[in-house]
Amino acid sequence: MIGIFDSGIGGLTVVKALTEQLPGYDILYFGDTARTPYGTKSPETVTRYALRNAEFLLRKGAKLIIVACNTASSVATDQLTEKFDVPVFEVITPAAELSVKTSEKLRVGVIGTRATVNSGIYEKKIRAMNADAKVWSVPCPLIVSLVEEGWLRKPETRMIIKKYLHPLKVRQIDTLILGCTHYPVVKDIIQRKIGKRVKLIDSSVAVAGKVKGFLEENPGKEALLSQTGKSLFFVSDITAQFEHTSKNILRKKIRLEHVRI
């Protein structure tokens, strides 16, 4: 099974991208809804949670792990890859790679949680790939709450997104990384507010492409993954709100199973 974890329900955007690019593979999802949000917490705390989440997925039979959460990917990847001997994928590198390939003017914007932006990880990765690239990052913490509230069509949401994107617009970026699980849900608004000439990089689509490429090149690892089209969704807390958000993301109702970890 492919194990995917996130701080909560937002990581279902990665499940969606993965099932589009790799249909049929069995998926084990864990959303740490009892401890969400991660984006406002310290790197040490997020790393501790991330290690526990990965252990849970491995216990349940995952043979490959995807860290869907940008915040956990930003701060916990090194420890995860050191500790576990299954392939671990994070969402930062694939999105950074895609942005360097996509950006003609090498002027890249990044939006994410405060923890992701504070980590400086996107700048580091992008500038290591191309030292001429210019990168500007803006934390957009309210977007997570707006998506979780289901405020997808409200004028307030459009206004807040416009305000967040203003500094990036001024910099005349030509590529924008959606560096948070929740942002693909309001991709249309983001595109309208940043301008249609700016290319959006969706980290969920980018990581799904990376995993697909890896499995094509590593048939031995691919053979370990079951393919019966089954998806199991576990969460560490359950409320009606999570069911509602998951429906907004996957466009279908899913069964969330409560586990204490």
Please answer whether residues 147 and 245 qualify as being in contact, where contact means their C-beta atoms are separated by less than 8 angstroms.
Answer: yes
Q: How far is the CB of 189 from ligand DGL (least distance, A)?
A: 17
Which position among 3, 7, 96, 126 is part of the footprint of ligand DGL (CB under 6 A)?
7
119 belongs to the binding site for ligand DGL (CB under 6 A): no
The token duo for 54 is 């990965």
DSSP 159: H
The verdict on 38 binding ligand DGL (CB under 6 A) reads yes
Q: Does 139 bind ligand DGL (CB under 6 A)?
A: no
Considering the rule CB under 6 A, would residue 121 count as an interface residue with ligand DGL?
no
Our answer to whether residue 140 is catalytic in this structure is: no
Using CB under 6 A, pick the residue from 71, 103, 231, 236 that binds ligand DGL. 71
Peptide bond into 94 cis (omega under 30): no
CA 202/CA 252 separation, integer angstroms: 21
Query: Which of 180, 200, 201, 249 is an active site residue?
Result: 180
6 within 8 A of 31, measured Cβ to Cβ: yes
The stretch near ligand DGL (CB under 6 A) out of 31-39, 53-61, 169-177, 236-244 is: 31-39
* Residue 219, preceding peptide bond in cis (omega within 30° of 0): no
107 versus 236: smaller Cβ distance to ligand DGL = 236
User: Does residue 180 have an active-site annotation?
Assistant: yes
Residue 231 per-residue DSSP state: E
* CA 91 – CA 72 distance, rounded (Å): 9
Query: Where on the chain is the footprint of ligand DGL (CB under 6 A)?
Result: 6-8, 10, 36-39, 69-71, 113, 116, 144, 180-182
Residues marked active site are found at 69, 180
